[in-house]
């Protein structure tokens, strides 16, 4: 792992030797302009991806319970209706890097919103599981395209001291989306026992469920859960800027300068335009020769990026982060699918109230994760490992052998800690790769992680059908979290710890790839 430190990953995860003068100047300009009002705009507009996804996934878990009665679905079909979304996620993650590193982060995010909104709304037109599975696949593709783009954009528009914290706040939109979804369930069908009255295609037309929400609850839930994506699509198309790092790497210097000037104006700071223009005018060392696979001035090549990620410097991190993302997705998305049915099983409160409580409880978890991210000098590796270990510990309380009184509190804690683990894993992943290949690298790691979210609903449904309990699902979650907790400190480089003197910093900016969760 020392080879990674010696490779000198710089402020955006890239070695300063590999960074063009333009990329260095843009990174320095973002540091000088600092944090302010400007960063809140992309935070809100990228956070909408997570909000829309959180609402969609929680509502989909509820819809599955309703459709089970309406269409008499067997366990494999019920699990498949949710798993197909995550297969779409994986496909979207895989192609996201090729879209974002070629055409830009903004293009990826707008495409994601459009797909989530259109196909999510169209789900209400389904008259059988086959067509619904087809439509949900493309909802998943939209989410999959958006996630790596959002992960990549925020570190490229924020000063290094705020990147981990802004990642936390951005991902915090997911439980907010779940809270909105829970409120919709509470409003439409709090017991998740609505009859099939009004579900006939002869009586349905687009938006009818919004006008008459009391008819056919699952169609109403489909339409309402798509509304956030429509709203964010409109706002992002108007107010979301492209990443200045991406523009600089593409040689689109005038657009890059305009973005940086808007950033400085909104933050009330001064931008040294002349220094920036001088850097833009300096030819890169590769100019005039055939671009190498690591040259930011090259035309994007997916084959070259994959070859670089499979090199000695990146391969160990990529390999382990694929495992970490599998655990992340199995935990967060598996719990989103499981908890609506878990709380119906407990019969303590109505499903809608329980979902709202869980989603509300996750918000303090995001706040706690944000505070952790502001503690200086603690490696994200330890935050990942610690949150995974605690998630495993509290999972014991969800097992059948545990006291019944511990079930609901344990489920709340596991939900909270799984969200914290989600944030720390994403923050580490975005820190480890340079801007020129970041979205492709993050897309590959998250695509691999979809194996966790694809398998979670199927494991849950089969576990419940065969054993009559949730123990096997909870045991799988605990095993994954335990593996990450034990192996992360051993296998991942802890930049900023004992290896700190070996790091190379660029232009005096604090090294973000040190993966410190520092202010």
Per the document, the length of the chain is: 519
Q: What is the pLDDT of residue 101?
A: 85
pLDDT (0 to 100) of residue 209: 58
Instruction: Name the residue with higher pLDDT: 42 or 209.
Output: 42
Of the pLDDT bands very low, low, confident and very high (cuts 50, 70, 90), residue 210 is low
- Out of 39-43, 52-56, 266-270, 503-507, least confident range: 503-507
Segment 257-276 shows an average pLDDT of: 90
pLDDT at 197: 58
Cα dihedral value 35, 49, 247, 96, nearest 10:
140
> Which of 9-13, 121-125, 147-151, 194-198 is predicted with the least confidence, judged by mean pLDDT?
9-13
Q: Which of 411, 387, 405 is nearest to 482 (CA)?
A: 387
pLDDT at 495 over 80: no
The SS3 of residue 500 is: helix
Q: Enumerate the β-bridge partners of residue 516.
A: 379
Mean pLDDT, residues 100-123 taken together: 91
Stretch 238-257: mean pLDDT: 90
Position 511 pLDDT exceeds 50: no
> Which of 7-11, 57-61, 287-291, 383-387 has the least mean pLDDT?
7-11
What are the residues facing 379 on neighbouring strands? 516
What mean pLDDT is predicted for residues 427-455? Answer: 84
Portion of the chain with pLDDT greater than 70, in percent: 79
Mean pLDDT of 416-429: 88
| pLDDT above 80 for 306 | yes
Helices (H) and strands (E) in the chain, counts: 20, 0
Angular region, 495: left φ>0, alpha ψ -120 to 50, beta rest: beta
pLDDT value for 200: 61
H/E stretch holding 517: none
Instruction: Please state, in angstroms and rounded to a whole number, the distance separating the CA atoms of residues 305 and 29.
Output: 27
> What average pLDDT does range 383-410 have in this prediction?
90
Domain boundaries, the chain: 2-246+300-497+505-514
Measured CA to CA, the distance from residue 13 to residue 164 in angstroms comes to 13
- pLDDT for residue 31 is more than 70: yes
- If one compares 156 and 210, the residue with the highest pLDDT of the two is 156
Q: How confident is the model at residue 346 (pLDDT cuts 50, 70, 90)?
A: low
Is the pLDDT at 295 greater than 50? The verdict is no
The pLDDT of residue 345 is above 50: yes
Whether 327 shows a pLDDT value over 90: the answer reads: yes
The answer on pLDDT for 181 being more than 50 is yes
Residue 352 has pLDDT above 90, yes or no: no
- The answer to whether 220 touches 409, Cβ cutoff 8 Å, is no
State the pLDDT at residue 41.
95
Mean pLDDT, rounded, of the chain = 78
Percent of the residues in the chain that have a pLDDT greater than 90, as a whole number: 24
Radius of gyration of the chain (CA): 23
Residue scoring higher pLDDT (246 or 281): 246
CATH code linked to domain 2-246+300-497+505-514: 1.20.1250.20
For 462-476, what is the mean pLDDT? 86
Q: What is the mean pLDDT of residues 310-314?
A: 79
Q: Span 407-434, mean pLDDT?
A: 86
> Which pLDDT score is estimated for 349?
65
pLDDT of amino acid 293: 37
What pLDDT is stored for residue 243 in this prediction? 92
Average the pLDDT over each of 238-242, 306-310, 311-315, 483-487 and give the range with the smallest value: 311-315
Average pLDDT over residues 423-442: 84
Residue 469's pLDDT band, with cuts at 50, 70 and 90, is: confident
Task: List, in order, residues 6 or more apart from 420 with CB less than 8 Å away.
Answer: 365, 368, 369, 372, 383, 387
Predicted TM-score (pTM) above 0.85: no
Residue predicted with more confidence, 13 or 489: 489
- DSSP-assigned letters across all residues of 230-276: HHHHHHHHHHPPPPHHHHHHTT-HHHHHHHHHHHHHHHT----HHHH
Average pLDDT over residues 492-512: 40
Min mean pLDDT across 33-42, 338-347, 373-382, 482-491 is at: 338-347
Instruction: Please tell me which residue, 319 or 201, carries the higher pLDDT value.
Output: 319
């Amino acid at each position: 792992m020392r080879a990674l430190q010696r490779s000198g990953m710089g402020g955006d995860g890239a070695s300063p030797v590999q960074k063009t003068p333009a990329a260095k100047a843009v990174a320095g300009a973002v540091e000088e302009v600092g944090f302010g009002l400007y960063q809140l705009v992309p935070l809100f507009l990228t956070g909408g991806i997570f909000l829309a996804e959180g609402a969609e996934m929680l509502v989909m878990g509820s819809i599955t319970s309703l459709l089970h009665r309406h269409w008499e679905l067997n366990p494999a079909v019920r699990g498949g209706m949710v798993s197909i979304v995550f297969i779409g996620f994986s496909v979207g993650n895989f192609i996201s890097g090729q879209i974002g590193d070629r055409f830009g982060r903004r293009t990826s995010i707008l495409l994601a919103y459009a797909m989530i909104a259109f196909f999510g709304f169209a789900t209400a037109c389904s008259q059988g599981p086959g067509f619904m599975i087809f439509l949900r696949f493309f909802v998943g593709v939209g989410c999959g395209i958006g996630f790596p783009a959002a992960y990549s954009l925020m570190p490229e528009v924020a000063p290094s001291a705020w990147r981990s914290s802004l990642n936390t706040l951005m991902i915090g939109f997911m439980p907010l989306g779940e809270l909105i979804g829970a409120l919709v369930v509470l409003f439409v069908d709090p017991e998740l026992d609505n009859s099939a009255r009004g579900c006939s295609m002869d009586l349905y037309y687009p938006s009818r469920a919004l006008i008459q929400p009391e008819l056919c609850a699952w169609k109403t839930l489909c339409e309402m859960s798509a509304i956030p994506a429509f709203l964010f699509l409109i706002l992002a198309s108007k107010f979301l800027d492209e990443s200045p790092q991406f523009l600089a790497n593409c040689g689109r210097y005038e657009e890059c300068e305009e973005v940086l000037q808007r950033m400085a104006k909104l933050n009330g700071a001064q931008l040294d335009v002349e220094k920036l223009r001088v850097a833009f005018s300096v030819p890169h060392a590769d100019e005039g020769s055939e671009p190498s696979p690591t040259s930011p001035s090259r035309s994007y090549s997916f084959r070259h990026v994959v070859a670089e990620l499979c090199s000695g410097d990146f391969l160990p991190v990529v390999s382990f982060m694929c495992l970490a993302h599998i655990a992340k997705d199995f935990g967060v998305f598996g719990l989103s699918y499981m908890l609506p049915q878990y709380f119906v099983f407990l019969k303590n409160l109505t499903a809608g109230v329980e979902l709202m409580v869980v989603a509300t409880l996750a918000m303090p978890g995001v706040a706690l994760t944000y505070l952790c991210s502001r503690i200086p000098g603690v490696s994200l590796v330890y935050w990942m490992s610690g949150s995974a270990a605690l998630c495993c510990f509290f999972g014991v309380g969800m097992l059948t052998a545990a006291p019944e009184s511990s079930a609901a509190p344990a489920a709340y804690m596991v939900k909270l800690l799984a969200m914290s683990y989600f944030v720390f894993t994403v923050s580490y992943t975005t820190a480890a790769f340079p801007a020129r290949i970041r979205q492709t690298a993050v897309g590959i790691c998250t695509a691999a992680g979809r194996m966790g979210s694809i398998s979670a609903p199927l494991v849950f449904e089969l576990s419940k059908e065969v054993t009559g309990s949730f123990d096997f699902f909870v045991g799988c979650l605990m095993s994954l979290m335990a593996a990450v907790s034990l192996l992360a400190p051993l296998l991942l480089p802890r930049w900023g710890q004992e290896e700190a003197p070996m790091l190379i910093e660029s232009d005096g900016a604090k090294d973000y790839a040190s993966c410190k969760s520092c202010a």
